[in-house]
Structure formats: structure tokens, C-alpha cells
Amino acid sequence: MEARNENASHVPAIELEHVTFRYFEHGKHNVLEDASLSIPQGKITVIAGNSGCGKSTLAAVAAGLYPENGGVLSSGSIRLFGQPVGEQNPAARSRYLSMMFQNPDLQFCMDTLRKEMRFCLENICVPMKEMDAACERWAGKMDMTSFLDRKLYTLSGGEKQKAALACLFLLGSKAILMDEPFANIDEDGAKEIVRWIVKQNREQGLTVIAIDHRLDYWLTVADEVIVMGKGGKVLERGINRENFEAHKSFFDQEGLYYPGRYQREDSQEQEAEPALVLEDVSMEGLLQGASATVPKGRITAILGPSGCGKTTLFRTLLGKKRYSGSIKADFGQGLTEMSSIPKKERFLHMGIVFQNPSNQFITQNVYQEVAESYRRWQPKQGEETLKAKVEEQLASYGLGQYRKYSPYMLSQGQQRRLAVLAALAGEQDVLLLDEPTYGQDYRSTMAIMRELQEKVEKEGLTVLMATHDRALARAVSSVIYEVKDQKLVRVMNSKAEARQGGKDGAEN
């Protein structure tokens, strides 16, 4: 690769000085409190920090989305490449910076990628005769040509993420800001995108700012990692691949993830009866002739590339999609063909946390969301007992101070914790988790996993988890399946299995 341009201006790409911001006019809680941050031009900068510390809010303020579209900026200044953000309209700002949200569904205005890309180009006044060629070129670069005319709602979470990135790069901004860009993308897809981003950075001087809990994809290429604390305060910066070992204790102290942090405590587990059995299952051209056994009272993980059918499998189990073959479930009366179990009865025994948790919220604030779950699933509990239990759970999940917030005002990581907490109130036999650690720092991830493991061990809960986080799957799962060639292939995940399988049966 060519060396990047070392003569780039010393003016920061993003500069925030003494910024204080809150969401509510008369609210007492400032999300950003006297926050200052400077991001250099032409570099790859990664911002890490605990869930809810203000990373996403800071990004939206830097991009000019706040307070233009909500909230109160009570002090401070924000500049993009030396220009005050508040003095520029959205089209002018997009020449300097474009941003990808945590939830790609919130990014789209149109119903197909082609229309969305055209809409982006219209907003920066690209001549109509040039639009189609630009759309085809950038869709091709992102391997999204076949998705151009598909309805966006039919795409998987990972495919939507790549579609959002294609739109981002299409704008040709001097800098891109990505909020949890790989949360729903498989490892190979994430690595491919990082390679492309690095190429643009090296050859074109593209400034890259990534907010990410996972450093796996960035540590070897980032010029700097910045750790942010509560209120948007910078706790540590200047971290890179060369000095990272010296900062591990700091990451431990802050409860943040770094490569190799997950440690599996291997145990000699007894064989368990099956909770779910799939035999020769096919669905919608995704899985074809797939078979698997999900043991009772265990955590089972499913790995696989974006769009391979993990989420669709969950919807199939809940009766939302058709399938051929056999799916049997044991909800206390022996293995029974799923198609003969009414949908309402399935929900009595099987809960789910969606890939996008905001799709399942039903109340106006965080406290109500958990309280209503307990009332619905445990109606015999008295109100005082219920209140005490809700407060205890909110505190343990780090959500106590947000009890009066709307669920939609939370960060993606906080929304995920709230959805898991509400789902656990159902005390069902099987819990389906779709990307449960998306947007979570290490401490929050392990809090969720410890809660689940306790319910698995003490109450016999069966957990089926779809995830791209291979390290987490190895650390917490008794059984791992991986989608390969439209089949479910069991991956060994314990020393006992490895010993039985021998050298040829080692983990893929």
C-alpha cells in the first residue's frame, strides 16, 4: 500500500471543547458533561468505553445531529475540520463527515438500497445522470450488487449493516464515523470491510473514527484507541498495538473487552436430554437438510455468516416461518412436533430477545417495561414484591438511574440489557437470544451471561444463542453449531469432546 499523506492539515477532523449536553430541557442528567475531544485528520481512531458512557451521543453531537434534532447543548463548541458544526447545513456537513448509526434500520429512508443510495446522492446534489453508475460502483465495492433492488426489510442485520456502509462511502466524505459497525456482521465480513477501510485511509487519507467495544478487528490497524468514561470524559488515549499490553490492567479495571479476555472454565458436563431436535430441516433457501440437537439446561450457540439463516431459524421456531423436515420440542410432555404446538403455547414456553431489541418494547419507560413483564408472567406476585424485584434487577443490570427513561432513549447496549431482563421475567423453558452482546462492554456482557448461567444451572433454562462473537461462544456455551454450506455443523467446545474426538476432530 502507498504511504498516507503526511502533509495533511494539523487542524483536527473533529474537535469538541467543554461540551455539556442533555436530552431533556428540564432534565438533571447530562449525558455529556464538560466533554472535550480532538480527533486528528487522516488517522484511524477507535473509541471504546462502557455501555451508556455517552459514546453514541458524542458521535451524534459531533455529526451535528444534536441539538439540531433534539436535546439541549448547554455549553461548548463543536468543529469539523475547523468549521463550526452549527453554521453548516446537513449537505455541507456531509462533505466533512458521514455517520453510520448503531441500528441501521434508523438510517434508511427508502425501501431498497438503490433508492437509498440515490436519495443520498440527491442530498449532496449529484447530477441524476451520474447516480446509477455511482450506485453500481459502490455497491460492487461492498459486494452488495445483488441487494440493490431487494427490499431492505428482507435483509439480515449484517446485510443491512453493509448496505448502510455502502451509502456511507458513497457520499465521499473526508471522514467517516461508525457506531458499532460490526455488531451484526460475521468475522470474515468485518475483516473484509476493515481491509477496505484501511486501503482508503492509506491511499486517500480517509479519516476513520470507529466506536466499538470489540478491538479484535481494529487493534492491528488503529493509529490510536481512546477510552471514554462517564459523561464523555477521556480516561486514556494514545493506546495502540505497540503499547497495548501495558494497558491491559486498565481495561480490566474499566470492565472493557480486549482480545483474549474471555476465559472458558471447562467442566465435565453430563449428557442432557434434548430440548429441541432438528432433523433434515429446510427453510426459505437458507438452511437445507439441517440437523441439530439442543440440550436441556445448557447454553447452545449458533455461529455463521450474516444472512445464513440464524434469525430466520428463531422465527421458524416461534411459528413465524414455514419449514420442511422435522422440528421437535420438549416442553414438559416429551418431544413433540413443533407444527402441532399452537403458536400461543410456544410463547408460553419459549421467549426471545430480538436482534433489534427496540422492536419488542411495549411501555413508556424502563421501569414499566420490566414491571409489565413480571405482571404478565407472574400475576400472583404482590405489587410490593414486584417493585422490590424490579428495582433489584434494574440495579444489577446497570439500568437503575434510567428507570424513568423511555426505552428508545437508551443506547443499543442498554436496550439489549433491558430486553434480556424483561424476557427473563417470563421464566420460560427456552430463551432465544439473537446477538445478545451487540453494543455491550465486557462487564455488561459477563453480567448478562452470569445471570443466564445461574438460571441455566439452578432453574434448568435452555438458551439458544445466535452470535458472531466466536470467543464468547467458546467461553460460555456447552455446544456450538456453525452454519456451513446450509447445514448445521457441530463444533467441539470442551476438552472432554476434544479428547473423545481425537486429533482429527479438533475445533474448526
Q: Is 417 exposed, middle or buried (0-12, 13-18, 19+ CB in 10 A)?
A: buried
Catalytic amino acids?
A: 180
Residue in 191, 431, 474, 217 with CA at minimum distance from that of residue 306: 191
Crossing angle of the two packed helices 366-377 and 412-424, in degrees rounded to 10: 20
Q: Is there a contact between 199 and 169 (Cβ–Cβ < 8 Å)?
A: no
Count of other CB atoms within 10 angstroms of residue 508: 11
**Edge-to-edge strand list for the sheet holding 14-22:** 32-39, 14-22, 72-80, 83-84
For residue 273, give the H/E element and its range: none
Q: How far is CA 270 from the centre of its chain?
A: 33
Q: Is there a contact between 124 and 171 (Cβ–Cβ < 8 Å)?
A: yes
Alpha carbons 339 and 341: distance in angstroms, whole number: 6
* Contacts for 388 with CB less than 8 Å, ≥ 6 apart: none
Alpha carbons 263 and 74: distance in angstroms, whole number: 44
- Cα(first)–Cα(last) distance of the chain, in Å? 32
Residue in 271, 209, 195, 199 with CA at minimum distance from that of residue 47: 209
Alpha carbons 313 and 310: distance in angstroms, whole number: 5
Q: With the CA atoms of 352, 353, 355 and 358 taken in that order, what torsion angle do they form, in degrees rounded to the nearest 10?
A: 120
Alpha carbons 260 and 285: distance in angstroms, whole number: 36
Alpha carbons 370 and 395: distance in angstroms, whole number: 12
